[in-house]
Chain A
Amino acid sequence: MPQDAIQLSTAAVVRAGRALRDALDDPERRALAATRLAFAGERGIGVFDETTAQAFASTGVPDRAAPQAELTVDVLAAALGQIDVANTLLAASTAVGEQGAPNRTALDQPLRRAGRTVELLADLNTPPVHHFRAEPPTSSTVDDAMHILRAKVTTTFDAIVTRSSEVVAASITGIRDGGPGALADGWRWAKQNLKLDEIGGKLAKLGLRALRGALRILYRLLPSDRLEAIQERVERLVTTAEAGSPALALLGAALGADETARTAASALDARPADAGRLDDATSALTALGARHGKVMDLCGGIATAIGFATTLTGLAGLGAPGVHVIVLGAHLGLLGAVVVIGREYVGRTGETISEATR
């Protein structure tokens, strides 16, 4: 998926949002700037729809068994950009007073956030550091290689579970804030086509459209044939978590980390004799852990952005039940995505060990 297009359109919304913030005191200029922002928002939604549709069309993602790593990054980056576009539009609605008194400072925080997202998208596009030469571990004995790999396996599983749990904790807090019945409400998003077109002023409507677009793509990360299993795992996480933070053991089980770790340990106990292959596996796990970290950074950004959307929809006077459901649905969609992605990375870790010890 061309992240450049998403980055460009998000940057254009940020630019137009800043122009509106700077024009709030001048009625003529404010009206022009609001039109420009609506235009940029509309175009951003169009670019997002087009690029995501192209991405999925070219890879056939909805029916595949598991998301591909690079596509996952692209999809999450697009969703994050779109939620920040939504938040900017919702905040602009409050700033100009579409549904109530204008709020001069409403745009400040969303614009800062959206600006950071544009930078994050730039970071994703930044080419890797080119070292003069690669420096993989070169163990002198099989015992050394085994020792290093065992440690790496442990830290990789731990990191996958810990990083996932950080995102999960943020989203669970958001769902709990939704009150009783939030879970059932949230899943309605995936099953119903909510009618929100009559809610709010022009900027707020656009903001909600952008939010729905982001959610739609988030849900496309969840394989349709496994939706019920994912739903069950997510619900178990949400209902059994205490104080908004799930026990790592619970999450480890949801991601399948425990079982895979046991299988990996048994494979290593069989004492394979090729130090080179063990070292290669250590390098592969290092890269895998780094990629998962990058993906969880994006998921963390999305969790924060969704939380922010909750506040902004409230400030914009959008108290309709449908809006509430969208935000809950976003949290659940993200939780589902974290579980799917975590399971994928856990699976890859297991495969890496299995190949190294074959």
Chain B
Amino acid sequence: MLKFDLKKFNNQQTLFHFQGELPVNGVTSVFGDSGAGKTSLVRALAGLDKTYSGSLFFRDKTWQDDAVFITADKREIGMVFQEPRLFPHLDALGNLKLATKKASKSLYSISELAELLDFTQLLDKKSHQLSGGQKQRIAIARAILTGPDLLIMDEPLSSLDQHSRRLLLPFIKKLSLKIPIIYITHSMQEVFYLSQNMILVHQGEVECIGEPQSLFLNLNLSLAKHKHSGLIVDVQSSHWDPEFSVLHGYIDRQAIIVTMDKPTQLTDFQIKIESKDVVIATKKLEFSSLQNCLKVTIEQIEQLPTTSVLLTLSTGEQKILAKITNKSLNELALKVNQNIFAYIKAMNISLLDD
């Protein structure tokens, strides 16, 4: 359990007020706009910013209250910053060895991590000889080698190349089974792929803590504008069709097709369906190039500030969103609980992995 109530003032004004309580297991993502206070929150949790007042408890330990302040070096946290911050006077191995000096336990050895994160060949290289992605992989290994009780990662993948991202995302997910992770990101894809729990930060406060899907569907939160762009859904048991280069799968037992150039080993994957790419029909369309048709039920009709509405559509257990004009809504006479067809162009579905 991580429980915090931390305030930072600037000339009598409250700059930040973070309050919340969450279980620490798996990945907890921290989501919010730039400047909302995501980094400030984790710096306060890590003890790197000592200007906060209030209280902070991690499991059975008091990290901060009126009388106590445990400094960052005594909190047994691992931290991966946005930039790799490798020590420039040491080579990669030197950086990693330094991290093991105060480690009370270790899940991995240096060579195991080098193998897993693909930098065995780079151990004798200095920071300036490495690419951004290589540095960040070593920085992640360095944080893990401290044997932390909690790993904090501040947008670790935001500036990385495709190779590093593909390597790191599944690794981080697996790692979170052993070390709880707090993970800042502004990527909705990463939130859905990695985390079961999410801290939503908005204007210097924790707005809400909960399961990502339900937070994104909650109209009262600042997330609404993200949500308008679309939702992420799970697709099951796919296979790749080499003739047409498409991937077949199911959303709540309804068939769906995604374009895919290369064969893939994916069996279950996630896709983001953009709300503006969904076409609504009250009858089945004929003679059209639209490949994907889902039978859906209208759950909610929300008027947007513009001249459009946002429909929340249920495919069974999952939900997708469709943005249509007021005119279409009127002409089709759509109502809540009505059963309709939602069409999505096959090429419009973006795989989360990309």
Note whether A and B form a binding pair.
no
Where the two chains meet, the residues of A that have a C-beta atom closer than 8 Å to any C-beta of B are none
